[in-house]
A and B are shown apart, each in its own frame.
Chain A
Amino acid sequence: MIPPRYIEEDSDELLPSTPLLDDETPFSTMMSSFDEAAHRLGIEPGEYAILRKPDREISVSVPVRLDDGRLAVFDGYRIQHNAGLGPFLGPLRLQRRMKIDELRALAAWMTWKCAVLDVPFGGAAGGIRINTRRHSQGEIERAVRRYTASLLSDIGPDRDVFAPDVGAGENVMAWVMDTVSNHARVTENAAVTGKPTALGGSIGHEDAVAQGVRVILRLAVEHFKLSKGSLSVVIQGAGTVGGNLARILQADGHRVCGISDVHGAFYNPNGLDLGPILAYRNEHGSLRGFKGDFQTITNDELLAQECDVLIPCATANAIHSRNAHQINAKLIVEGAHGPISAHGNRLLEERGIPIVPDILANGGGVVLSYFEWVQNRTGYQWIAQVIEKRLRRFMSEAWNQCVEMTREHDVSLRMAASMLAVRRVSAADSLRGIYA
């Protein structure tokens, strides 16, 4: 019998790999789409089996001396999904309830996303199971550094590149960069992206996803022949993606009628006055308590509002089998990861509502990560206009390829994006062959 005090108090469960494979998990949504894509492309089952599994899963113990002198041991993981197209790229997260299955899905997701956007990376995901609210900055820093050091032989600019994610912002990226660099005895700032600009971070990283969505939205509106002028837009989420997107779209002359965060949503069919709303959120970290010229409604009610474009930028599975029938938008653009469940997606497709899938729409982030990596490798920083132009090029090329695929195979955009991704990764894999 192990005395309870020996058990790491942050662990809610000791077997983090319990898979959650019901119909509405992000993993199953994702895989169902890619399984079908592979089938439609006629890829040999054996070849696709390679793509369904991560190349490598690494788990490390992360011992940390706490501020009070005690020793705590955290779990660290890094899942590397597929290296056919190049080094791995993927998020590093610090999260209390981290499940290895979620990381696996996220890693695969990154592979597909990089492939759709034609950036030369494979996908990865990883992190440390740690409750960032219960630990000091010093403890978190020691955990991140030890985690990085433990993974050293498998990460780096040409092996596996970290990007920021839940609980891991630019300061965490700076620690990782510093740890990798000092162990390698050379400056390795290309080992992580999303760094502070002073350490080689790229201009435009903060609102990259939003800028990418904006490019895609413009192309989608043209493609689906929505009204050319001002659009009414409902955005779920007011964070890095939703907040920036709302600001950008309003500046473009669109009418942002709804916005939300976890606490609730604001809605005004004539358009919201975003300036004060976003300023309030920046200051308070939440929309709660803000008063203005709008109705305050729930997130579910927000999703059901009539609008030209609905852009879910918050959580996974926001639109699911039980609310898909209420959606009243002419176009949905997925700003978040998997905001529509597999079942929800089927219902929306039956209703004929076009959806621009996440791996295409929110790819601006990985494109900027890629740009940062390139800038670090050349040691030369690009100016804002160059970044804007090149981001537009990458997003439009991905869009054009997906649209071409919809025509070639008579499929939805989501299926087209999945097929494009599977085709690119599998082509690279078979060119490279199986090494030994």
Chain B
Amino acid sequence: MQMSNGPAVAKAASDQDEFNPFLSMAKLFDRAADILELGAGLREVLRRPDRELTVSLPIVMDDGHTKVFTGYRVQHNFLRGPCKGGIRFAPDVNLDEVRALAAWMTWKCSVVDIPFGGGKGGVICDPRELSQGELERITRRYTASIMDILGPDRDVPAPDMNTNEQTMAWIMDTYSMHVRKTTTAVVTGKPISIGGSRGRREATGRGVMLSAREAMKKLGRRPEDTRVVVQGSGNVGGIGALLLHREGYKIVSISDMYGTLLNETGLDMPQVLDHLTQNRRLEGYTEGTYMDSKEQLELDCELLVPAATENQITSANADRIKAKLIVEGANGPTTAVAQEILDDRGVTVVPDILANAGGVTVSYFEWVQDRMGYFWTEEIVNTRLEQVMVKAFADVDATADKYGVSLRTAAYILAIDRVASVHRMRGVFA
């Protein structure tokens, strides 16, 4: 295995284009580190993953032959607490990507000030070609293979691409059986019956709504006068739009992977989501125009919520974006070049590591609840999520004012400064 220089420069050498979100992150890291005047040694500490583990997973397939899969777990930084981050199952999982995502988790946990470092894991496999039984065996063997670095006080995985509640239940069961005791806090995103948290499914969407609300307050705008365009209608976009609708915003457009719904007078979000649940796509919903999604982001609106995938706002369309406020529900929807264009045009962007951190925050709540064994009502989860998001937004906003930078740069400055100061306090152990 070729040694990497660390997550912040992962892929950077080979892939110097605008559309590499990890490269964007590396640039942001350097910029924030410059502003914070971090020394070279400390930069190196914060860039490199604390630990990387690669495991081979021999699995007996349903047809009887044995296939060996490769799994990774990268723990980027555990200065602020145990590592936290998803596990993904995908054919294109690679160590560089896992490293970058692990670092991303460190900054995200730090921005919302929850006591975790960042981690990420994955198994190279194509879930579409695997049976439930094969998936279960992969999950259990992967868990057993990374047992030594896992645990409520070591590293706490969560669902990610192609992994879900069921996967988390298998991890919890495998871990518990190996340590000979029930250990629900080893993983988050579990079903409620075995230690999951109420309100987790809505958490990221709720965080997006709360970030938007705080940003609107800052800009001095009222929900009633705000037209919103939401890209994506899943757990983040759909629920984010629903919650914004409830707050009084006018959702004029929402999209899924097939097309876009448009209604200038505002969509009835509960109805739209009902339609989506029944038909699995937005097409066919009658109270609005259905069209292709090509120019959805350029629609006339005050608030734009990209909540689908990365690299949606780029140098190609950034100058045509009409919204004055962008709240990033997805990870990395805005490229670095586009961000510069938006900055010049005075568009406020609430960055992903702040705006979509509602998910990891409720993961943290799940871990807390599992540790004490007592479970909060949904209202309490929501209230506490609100407290965390409001505080995080205010912290980032204050940092932006202090250094005269965008919210995005400010989020990185805040996150990196928090981790760096813990490093100074804890020192180098031996």
Q: Establish whether residues B371 and A431, one from each chain, have CB atoms under 8 Å apart when the complex forms.
A: no
- A160 to chain B minimum Cβ distance, whole angstroms, is 9
Q: Does chain B have a CB within 8 A of A433?
A: yes
Which residues of A lie under 8 Å from residue B195 when comparing CB positions? 86, 120
Q: Does chain A have a CB within 8 A of B421?
A: no
Q: Does chain A have a CB within 8 A of B136?
A: yes
Q: How far is the CA of A433 from the CA of B373 in the complex (A)?
A: 22
Which residues of A lie under 8 Å from residue B181 when comparing CB positions? 87, 156, 158-159
Q: Establish whether residues A377 and B373, one from each chain, have CB atoms under 8 Å apart when the complex forms.
A: yes
Which residues of B lie under 8 Å from residue A385 when comparing CB positions? none
Q: How far is the CA of A435 from the CA of B147 in the complex (A)?
A: 15
- B54 to chain A minimum Cβ distance, whole angstroms, is 24
Q: Does chain B have a CB within 8 A of A432?
A: yes
Q: Does chain B have a CB within 8 A of A428?
A: yes
Q: How far is the CA of A87 from the CA of B374 in the complex (A)?
A: 14
Which residues of A lie under 8 Å from residue B166 when comparing CB positions? 431
Q: Establish whether residues A427 and B136, one from each chain, have CB atoms under 8 Å apart when the complex forms.
A: no
Instruction: Give the contact-size bracket for chain B.
Output: 20 to 34
Q: Establish whether residues B170 and A427, one from each chain, have CB atoms under 8 Å apart when the complex forms.
A: no
Q: Establish whether residues A432 and B372, one from each chain, have CB atoms under 8 Å apart when the complex forms.
A: no
Residues 154-186 of B, flagged 1 when their CB comes within 8 A of A and 0 if not, give: 000000000001100110111001001111100
- B183 to chain A minimum Cβ distance, whole angstroms, is 7
User: Across the two chains, which residue of chain B brings its CB closest to A156?
Assistant: B181
Give chain A interface residues in 140-180, CB to chain B under 8 Å: 153, 156, 158-159
Which secondary structure characterizes the binding site on chain B? Answer: helix
Q: Establish whether residues A432 and B173, one from each chain, have CB atoms under 8 Å apart when the complex forms.
A: yes
Q: Does chain A have a CB within 8 A of B194?
A: yes
Interface size counted on chain A using CB atoms at 8 A: 23
Q: Establish whether residues A373 and B170, one from each chain, have CB atoms under 8 Å apart when the complex forms.
A: no
Q: How far is the CA of A84 from the CA of B176 in the complex (A)?
A: 11
Contact of B173 among A159, A373, A378, A433 (CB under 8 A): A433
Q: Establish whether residues B180 and A431, one from each chain, have CB atoms under 8 Å apart when the complex forms.
A: no
Q: Establish whether residues A87 and B191, one from each chain, have CB atoms under 8 Å apart when the complex forms.
A: no
Contact of B169 among A86, A378, A432 (CB under 8 A): A432
User: Across the two chains, which residue of chain A brings its CB closest to B372?
Assistant: A378
Contact of A431 among B183, B194, B374, B375 (CB under 8 A): B194
Q: Establish whether residues B177 and A86, one from each chain, have CB atoms under 8 Å apart when the complex forms.
A: no
- B352 to chain A minimum Cβ distance, whole angstroms, is 31
With A432-B170, A433-B173 given, is the CB distance from A158 to B182 under 8 Å? Answer: yes
Q: How far is the CA of A83 from the CA of B169 in the complex (A)?
A: 14
In addition to A86-B373, A158-B183, A159-B181, 15 A-B residue pairs with Cβ atoms within 8 Å of each other are A84-B194, A85-B194, A87-B181, A120-B184, A158-B182, A159-B182, A370-B373, A374-B372, A377-B372, A428-B194, A431-B169, A431-B191, A431-B193, A433-B169, A435-B173
Give chain A's interface residues, CB within 8 Å of chain B. 83-87, 120, 153, 156, 158-159, 370, 373-374, 377-378, 424, 427-428, 431-433, 435-436
Give chain B's interface residues, CB within 8 Å of chain A. 136, 140, 165-166, 169-170, 172-174, 177, 180-184, 191, 193-195, 371-375
